[in-house]
Structures are given as structure tokens and as C-alpha cells.
Structure 1
Amino acid sequence: MGLLNWMRKRRSLILGVSMLVGVAMLSGCGGNKGGAGGKTGDTLYIGMTNAPDSFNPLFNPGIAGQFAIRFMYDTLLGMPEPNKFTPQLAESFESQDNQNFTIKINPKAKWTDGTPVTAADVVYTLNLIANPKVETSKGTYINMLEGVDDKGKLVSGDAIPGLAAKDEKTVVFKTKAPVDPNYLKSMLGFEVYIVPKHVFEKIDPAAIANSEVATKPTVTSGAYKFVAYVTNDHVEYAANEDYYKGAPKLKKIFIRVMNGTNLVTELKSGNVQLAAGGGIGVIPVKDLDVLKKDSKLIVKTAPSFAGQYLEVNNNNPMFNVKFRRAVTMAINRKQLVDQLYKGTAQVVPTVYTMASPVYDKSVEPLPYDPAKAKEELAASGFDTSKELTLQVPLGNVLREQSADLIQQDLKAIGLNVKQQKLDFPTVLGNAKKGDYELLLLGYGLTADPDYSSYFIPGGSSNFAHTDDPKLTDMMLKAAAMTSADQRKTAYVEIQKYMRDNQFVTSLYETDYIMAQSKNLKGGIKDFWEGSLDDINEWHFE
């Protein structure tokens, strides 16, 4: 499969907001330092600029929540590098025909209450996700299974047909058609957190999202146990000494929530030894050179699948394709990149970034052309006397600054736009409901080119409320192809169609900026999603 085997990864929305909190050390957390200016120890402090949106293993659309959950819950497989899988809860994950699969559960794996992890837990978890009553962001990761629809929900009955626990440690299941095993492993294997049946089955499936097992987990399977969360301040973990892959070397981990400026200060002082990276541990571009000059830190950048986007509510009949094209051509995206990001961002024509193996450089972005934008706007029939509202999430300073420039550019073609600055949960809620006209969001789309959940009706992340039959058909057909070459060709055509129709305005893609203390062995990897694969081995020297 070569190139496209890179592409099987998670979809998720970057909840790009920096929560503004003080720089004071956490109450009761001021023990050992492991980084610049501090002594080595067994406690790690991680700086994160986004607060986790969820600790629910079944529903975690935000990257910050997914990052926080991976410390506590293991998946069947790890993926430290694209298409390289490591055993976690699954000791093996095999098929003879690429349609009927058998999973063997690690005999040493157990929950933090001492109960063994069994095949019944896996079967229960997958059926929970498929249950129409359960709110979940994991449906697209199991929608290749027989008996579920494109959203991963049961077509009929109360259990996924063909999914069974053959014995205490053996799971079998069947896909709708033969699939690339690496696709299945990166989706169902790497993205689905297995939950403890003996804990979750006591709760009404429809009530799980608001239950304590989802908000304050006590029975988990990962390297670390949840201790406490102080909202918008910090998450505290303690080592799971009975972890089946070996007791963690770091005995405590704190994720501290702070803005980017404070993150830089705390990295230099040694009070924080690692920036979370991945779009949720955002280091301000203006401070990058300062950190690079610090001899006690390792600082580097890497290409990413993350970007910032202007959502135009496709469900609003006023915002037809000519209006959307006018908006895109009115915005000087190169100015945004040059002025705000200083070489750490690039303009791209669609949500497919330059890091994607299916990115086609022959698909050029719509140009910055105010005159053409005015023509398209006039042809759209939009009433320019109408005032538009642009919703802007608070906290991400560069995004807020981009909103000012975007507002000016849209005014130049005759659009009267006012900004409405709101906290991120409010903006996200409005996006999900379609209660907006224009808004800014960030996505972390990584390597998998199947972004159908962002663009087809009913998709869990279809915040633009796109409902284009041709695009839906193109995306579903591309996702079902098993040939790497065929899939790449299909996604090139999708990029052209997206560029021409501007369902979402891709403002720019952003590089990952990674920073950590030199004496921390372990940490964030170039392939960010796989960073925690060896978390139990991280330590200070």
C-alpha cells in the first residue's frame, strides 16, 4: 500500500483555544522539577493551552480530551509511527481474508480495580458505540463493521452481527467487505478506547455522557490513573503500578492548562518540562527563537495535518457557492501567514494539507482577488445591506488577530461583518447546532484522507453543515476503495471539487512546534498522535 498506508488516522477537531489562567504553580504540586533549572525527579508537568473537553472514552471530539484520555485508557493497538502498530490490549489482531478478524486480548491486561480485561469488554464497547442511544464520537471508526451504517450505528437489532467473544480472551468480528488491515487497525484498533463492561453496564446507555464514569473515571486500563481535574487549571494522574506493560517510571503527571505566553515562561523556568504540542500545547510563534536559544530545552517543528478554517454555514440558502467563493477570494491568506505565523504556516486550497500523502500541488488555491470576489458576490444575489456575524473563539491570540484581518478584507468587497467573541464551548455548540453565519475553527485532520465525517450529512464533525450529494458520493466511494492508487486518484478529484465549491475556506495549515526539557527521555514525537505509546518508559536523566 506504500504511500497511502500513512493515511489511516483519526479525525478530530482541534479545539484551538488557549485558556487564560495564572502562572502560579499548582497548589500542592510544587515538588520535584525535571527540567530546565530544576532537579530530576519522578513527576512530570506538561503544559497545555487547551483545557480537555471530555474524559468520556466514548465521546471525545476534541484533541485535548483525547490526549488526556490516552493516559488513562488503552486502545487495542498503539501506533508510534504511521502504519506501525504495537500490541496494547490486543496481543494480536489477525485475518486470513481481510474480512473476518480475530483479536487475542493480552493475558496480563487488567483494569485498575484488578479485574482482567476480557473479550467481553471489547464486544461490549463496540456494541455501545453502535447503540443509537449512546452519544459517541467513535462511530466512524467502526463503520466498516457488518451491521452498522456509515455513522457506525446499528441498522437493526441490539448487537453487531458477527461480533462475539469466542472465549475470555478471543474476539471475532466481520467487516462489510474486505478491507485494508492497516486501515482497520488504525481506526478500530488505535482510535477506540475499550471500556470496562462491569462498570459501564450498570448505567443507562443514554445517560453515560453525564455519569461519573465518564467525568471522573476510576476504573481504567492505561499507564496512569485519574486523580483529579480542576476545571481550566490542571489534570492530575498517578502511576498505575500494576500496568500490564510495566510500572511507569514517572510516578505522577500533571497537565497544567495555561496560555501560550505562560507556557513559554514555565518551560524556561523548568516548572513545566513538556509542551503538549499537537495544536493543544501552542507555543506563540514570536517566542520560538527565545526557546531555541535556551540550552536546557529541545525545540523543533514538524509538518502537521492541522489548520485553521473559516466556516460558512452551508445550510443557509444565502450562502451559495458563489458567495462562498467570493468570501475565500476576498481574504488575503498569504498576509495572514506572513504577518502572523512568520514561516510556520502555509496557504492550502482545501483541508488536505501539504503533509497529506494525497495532497496534490497541481490543485492550486483560489487566488486572492478582490475584484473577482466582488463579481462572484454580485452574482450570488446576496443582499450586502445585511450585517453578518463572525463568531470567534477566545484564547488563541493568532486566530483572534486573523479575525481582524478577515473582517477588513470582507469589508473591502462590500460585506458588513461584525465579530462576536465567545468561549470555545459556546462556539463549538453553535457550530454543531448550525446556530451561526460565519465562524472560525481549527481542525486536526492528520494522515487519513477519509474526512467524510466533516462533509457528509449527519457527520459528527460536519460543522459547515455541508449537504452536497456529489461530494457525499465521491467521499463514500473513495473511502471504500482498497487500492492505494485508486484512492489517491479519487482524493485528488475530491480536492479539486472542494477547491471549486469552497464548502469550507481553508485559511492556512500550521506546523507543530515541540518543546521539552533535554533531560526528559521520551516526550512528544514527530508523529504526534503516537506520542504516548511508550509513556510508561518516560523518565528524567
Structure 2
Amino acid sequence: MSHWKKRSKYTTLLVASAALLAACGSDDVPDMEQGAQADGEETGTTPDVSEGDTSTLMVGLTNAPDSFNPFYRPGVAATWVQRFFYDSLLFMPTADSFEPGLAEMTTEDNQVFTVTVNADANWSDGTPVTAEDVAFTLNTIADPAVETTLGTSVAMIEGTDASGVREEGLEELSGLEVVDEKTLTITTKDPVDLNYISEFLGLNVLVAPKHVFEDIELSELPNSEAATMPSVFSGAYQFVEYDNNNYVHLESNPDYYRGEPEIKTIYAQIMNGTSLITEFQAGNLHMTAGGGIGMIPVQDIGMLEELEDVVVEEHPSFNSQYMIINNEKYTDPQVRRAFAHAIDRETIVENLLGGHGEVLSSTYSSASPYKDTDLEPLEYDPELAKELLEDAGFDFDTPIELVVPTGNAVREQSGNLIEQWLEEIGLTVNQSNYDFPTWLSMAQDLDYDIGLMGWGHTADPNIASYLQTGAASNNMAVSDPTMDELIEQGMTETEFDARYDVYSDLQKYMQEQMFVVPLYSDSQFSVQSTSLNGGINEYWAGSLYDVNEWTIDPE
């Protein structure tokens, strides 16, 4: 492991069609009671639901949840499913608004935040949700012995380091103070934007029941029954069953503090993209999740648009695809920029995505209010690329190893094109293909030259987890003082205009240094039956804020 890495090596869950990035402080891999399906495999027995049943919601997923542990959510599907039964402090129905969830969050100085827990919020076993639950959750995430994917979500709290780990010598975070049963204060290291802490801590952290988890040894937490087969909940639904390779079964929480759900039963069925289309055509699904959880091949979206009882909407996505670069091996930014000039990204968007996407100039797509619209992507110019490499004294005789993960057809096809384009400027490229967990492990060990990777972004522009020196998901060995300074400045500014200027400078600097080549962001499609009242919003991550109010019309 290279010297720049501050945190311990990732562990990897060999589940689902594509696991996302995970941070860890343990070598244990959670042993889930049930497995998950790889994309492309056939599903098992589907739930038997009566035709015209208005009390059961059928959801299609192509990525299976890889964890039910509230402290460890490596995949977006895991977070999405957990949101049905664990609530966060705040809800985020749109990309620029927040509503109270388990609590309200207020501040007078953008450094001390008062969290007031809903007086009516109880756990499903009747125990009140308290400020102690919130403090316990945040302290557990920050504990250096805990395997977690949420370090960046708490890294602004006083008493943590830049990765969100509790500072040595502290038994609890100094920035947390429980005032009474329903009130605590959170003090940050520096003043921060209310929207930043609202999304990263208020939305992204799911509050766990202290009375369920507190007696579990930290080393045993990943494989504990509480983490693999949860039984106490604060959300609108209760976990019932995870049927291997098939579905997650949820039932309504009758004592939900925001009102008992109208829809009593949910089955989240795991299937490949082709099966999603077939099930919609047969009228067996009400919706598919957004954000890459339910992935319908873009070339097949027209088949769903032809269905009279299905609504298809297209929106820009926060998530993006990149060609990551081993910056320990390729230290010259001129070489990295040459790689970018050699790739015809417009062809990827037009030919492979059918125009349903955009070429990226930096890390932010048009979905982000922080995208610098004046910054254009580097142009496709193979002659310039070759000239830059020659001027840099690049060794054209040494082969470049390109890693392309399997499971995403467009990404695999773009890998073939990228190999071809790099060879056209005189490079020798050896492409290798691995399942995503294997590729992720290689990337964390810097056992690659270049490779393709998708990043999930938030509405807030903070990208510290990917590009800050030593960050948990920085698998490119980026260690740049200017980048670190811009990231820190962006996190400490408290007003939108000031933050926008910082992130505009960051985008320009990223294009200049080209630590990673931004490729494209494909459109996000929401697909659902006309009988469903509710469902996926344009900002898909906030879609479950009112799930207890959703209804299904009789057919």
C-alpha cells in the first residue's frame, strides 16, 4: 500500500451486479444472511400478488442491496432500501430543499447546530427515538474500529480528522453534547454551509437504535444479527425478509410517527435490465428505482415509452463515469491531459448513449447547481494528444494496462473505444476485464495504470472522499496541496455564491491537472405505472420522503 494512503485497505463485498466504494477499519466482511444476484442472472420465485392489489407495491431493482448495516452502505441500493426502515434526521425532497425527518436542525452561527428530535418519533419496539440515539450513531461512525462508509458524512464535527475518524485520545466526539432526551448540539470544526451539513449529516446518516447496537462488540458488529437481519426500525416500513437472488420484503410500520403508510406491503424484486422491461410490459411492476438502482438499458427505453400505462421521464444525473489514472505512475499533468484529448467523448454520448447524456468538463454534471457552465470539456484532438506525449518524453514502447469492469454494457463498450483511440495516437494498450469488486480491490492497491470507474455524487459539491489526500475513495493516489486547499475552502464557506466561486476554481484546476479524465454522465430515467400516486422524483435520492403517503389506484 502506498505511503499517501491514510486509512486501511478496503474490504469488498462480492455481491450484486456492481458494488460501490466502501471504507473500512476492519478486515471482516459482513456475512449477510441472504445473498444477492449478479446482473444478468435469472431471478427465483417471485412473490404471489393478486391482480388489482392496491396495498402491495412492486419495485424493480437491478442492483441488489449489499448491506442492511446502517453504519456500512457500500452500494446505492443498500442505502435506498435502508431508507424504507431507517429514517435520517432530515429529508431532502428536492436537490435544494430540506424538511424535518426524525429531527429539526437549526443554527445561529453555522458552527453550533441544534438538533431537536421529533417528540412523536419512536422505534418500532415502542422505545422513544432520543438524542442519545443520534449521538451514539455519530460516535459509532467516527470510531476507528468500526467498518463504515460514512466517514465523510461526519468529518465536519469537532473531534474528527479529515476522514471522519475520531481523534486519538478521545472516547467520544468533543463536538457532540446531549442536552436532554430530545435535544443535542453538534459543533463543527469551522463554520459550514447549512446545506452541506444538512445533506452530508442530516440526510446521509441513518440513525441507528442505540439500545439495539450498544452492547455489540465493534469487531462483531458487521456480522451481528442487528446488522444483517434488522428488527427495530424508525422508518415507514419494517424489514421482513431478504430472499436470496429474488426480493426484499417490507411491511408497513403501523406506528410510524409521520402516519401509517397507505401501501402496506413492498416487494423490491431483483432482476436484470431486460427482465425489468418484460415485467413492465406484463403489468407486474409499479416502478423502478432511480439513480442506477434500477438500470434499464438506454437502447431499450423506447420500448417502455410505447406503453400506455407507464410514464417514462428523463433527467440529468448527478452520477458520472470516469477514466481514473494512477497518479503515482503518471505524475506529469501534460501526459494526463494527453489521455483526455485522445478520447472522443462526444461519440460515446451520441453513439453509445443515443444522446441520453452529456460530456463532462469536470466532476459536475448539469444536474449540479455548482457546475461551471463556462468551462468546456477538453476537445477531442488526437494530434495534440500525441504532441503532448512527445513533448513530455513519454515512452510509447511501454504498454498501458487498461482495466474495464464488467456489468455495465455502455461502460464496457466505451472501454473498447478508448483502447482503440489510445492506440491511434501510438500507444500500446492491453485491456483486461474484471468484475467490479475485483477491480475495486485492484484500484485501492494502485494495481493498475488506467481504468474505468463510476462515481456517485451528491447535490452538495463536496468531493473530498474522491480527491482529498488520503481520502477513503481516493484510489488514484491524488495528493495535491492546491486541491486539498480548494476542498477545505469549499467545505468551510457558508454561502452559495462564495462556495460556487471556490468550486469553479476547483473545476478549472482539475481540468488543468487532469488527475482523472471525466467521461460522461448518462441520463437518469424514472419509470413507473400510471396507477402509482407518488414514486420517483427528479431528485431521485429524495423520493422516499413521503413514501407513507403513496397510493395505488385500482386497475
Answer whether TM exceeds 0.5 for this pair. yes
Answer whether contact 1:18 1:395 (CA < 8 A) is retained: no
Answer whether contact 1:80 1:530 (CA < 8 A) is retained: yes
Following TM superposition, by how much is the alpha carbon of 1:127 offset from its aligned partner in structure 2, in angstroms?
Answer: 0.8
1:30 is matched with which residue: 48, 51, 54?
Answer: 48
* Equivalent in the alignment of 2:424: 412
Give me the whole-angstrom Cα distance separating, in 2, the residues matched to 1:15 and 1:51: 12
The superposition leaves residues 324-351 of structure 1 with CA deviations (integer Å, 9 ceiling, x where unpaired) of 2121111111111111111211111111
* Equivalent in the alignment of 2:501: 489
SS of 2:92's equivalent in the other structure is strand
Answer whether contact 2:45 2:246 (CA < 8 A) is retained: no
* Equivalent in the alignment of 1:522: 534
Following TM superposition, by how much is the alpha carbon of 1:162 offset from its aligned partner in structure 2, in angstroms?
Answer: 4.1
What residue ranges of structure 1 are gaps of 5+ in the alignment? 1-12, 34-38
1:97 aligns with 2:109: yes
Q: Quick one: which amino acid aligns to residue 293 of structure 2? A: I
1:233 aligns with 2:240: no
1:310 is matched with which residue: 294, 303, 323?
Answer: 323
The superposition leaves residues 246-296 of structure 1 with CA deviations (integer Å, 9 ceiling, x where unpaired) of 222222212222222221111111222211121221221222222112111
Following TM superposition, by how much is the alpha carbon of 1:23 offset from its aligned partner in structure 2, in angstroms?
Answer: 5.3
The correspondence of residues 334-353 of structure 1 with structure 2, limited to 5 A, is 334-353=346-365
The correspondence of residues 501-520 of structure 1 with structure 2, limited to 5 A, is 501-520=513-532
SS of 1:93's equivalent in the other structure is strand
RMSD: 2.1
SS of 1:419's equivalent in the other structure is strand
Give me the whole-angstrom Cα distance separating, in 2, the residues matched to 1:301 and 1:447: 18
Give me the whole-angstrom Cα distance separating, in 1, the residues matched to 2:345 and 2:179: 55
1:449 aligns with 2:461: yes
Answer whether contact 1:260 1:283 (CA < 8 A) is retained: yes
Give me the whole-angstrom Cα distance separating, in 2, the residues matched to 1:98 and 1:478: 14
Answer whether contact 1:32 1:43 (CA < 8 A) is retained: no
Q: Quick one: which amino acid aligns to residue 89 of structure 1? A: L
Following TM superposition, by how much is the alpha carbon of 1:21 offset from its aligned partner in structure 2, in angstroms?
Answer: 4.1
Following TM superposition, by how much is the alpha carbon of 1:516 offset from its aligned partner in structure 2, in angstroms?
Answer: 0.4
2:140 is matched with which residue: 120, 128, 141?
Answer: 128
Q: Quick one: which amino acid aligns to residue 121 of structure 1? A: D
* Equivalent in the alignment of 2:124: 112
* Equivalent in the alignment of 1:215: 228
SS of 1:466's equivalent in the other structure is coil
* Equivalent in the alignment of 1:370: 382
The superposition leaves residues 453-509 of structure 1 with CA deviations (integer Å, 9 ceiling, x where unpaired) of 110122122132311121111211122112322221111111111111111111111
SS of 1:395's equivalent in the other structure is coil
1:20 is matched with which residue: 39, 43, 50?
Answer: 39
Answer whether contact 2:195 2:460 (CA < 8 A) is retained: no
Give me the whole-angstrom Cα distance separating, in 1, the residues matched to 2:441 and 2:69: 17
1:63 aligns with 2:76: yes
Answer whether contact 2:241 2:250 (CA < 8 A) is retained: yes
Percent of residue pairs identical: 44
Answer whether contact 1:19 1:257 (CA < 8 A) is retained: no
Give me the whole-angstrom Cα distance separating, in 1, the residues matched to 2:90 and 2:171: 26
Q: Quick one: which amino acid aligns to residue 20 of structure 1? A: D
2:312 is matched with which residue: 283, 294, 299?
Answer: 299
Q: Quick one: which amino acid aligns to residue 39 of structure 2? A: L
SS of 1:236's equivalent in the other structure is strand
1:289 aligns with 2:279: no
Answer whether contact 1:18 1:260 (CA < 8 A) is retained: no
1:394 aligns with 2:406: yes
Following TM superposition, by how much is the alpha carbon of 1:524 offset from its aligned partner in structure 2, in angstroms?
Answer: 0.5
Give me the whole-angstrom Cα distance separating, in 2, the residues matched to 1:53 and 1:384: 42
Give me the whole-angstrom Cα distance separating, in 2, the residues matched to 1:20 and 1:487: 39
> Structure 1's 433 and 198: CA in aligned 2 closer, same or farther, altered over 3 A?
farther
* Equivalent in the alignment of 1:465: 477
SS of 1:362's equivalent in the other structure is coil
The correspondence of residues 252-267 of structure 1 with structure 2, limited to 5 A, is 252-267=265-280
SS of 2:295's equivalent in the other structure is coil
SS of 1:359's equivalent in the other structure is coil
* Equivalent in the alignment of 2:257: 244
| TM-score after normalising by structure 2 | 0.89
Following TM superposition, by how much is the alpha carbon of 1:66 offset from its aligned partner in structure 2, in angstroms?
Answer: 1.1
Answer whether contact 1:450 1:479 (CA < 8 A) is retained: yes
Following TM superposition, by how much is the alpha carbon of 1:413 offset from its aligned partner in structure 2, in angstroms?
Answer: 1.6
* Equivalent in the alignment of 1:428: 440
Answer whether contact 1:52 1:65 (CA < 8 A) is retained: yes
What residue ranges of structure 2 are gaps of 5+ in the alignment? 1-17, 22-35
* Equivalent in the alignment of 1:46: 59
SS of 1:305's equivalent in the other structure is coil
Q: Which moved further from structure 2: 395-404 or 424-433?
A: 424-433
Give me the whole-angstrom Cα distance separating, in 1, the residues matched to 2:455 and 2:541: 14
Answer whether contact 1:14 1:443 (CA < 8 A) is retained: no
SS of 1:147's equivalent in the other structure is coil
Q: Quick one: which amino acid aligns to residue 215 of structure 1? A: T
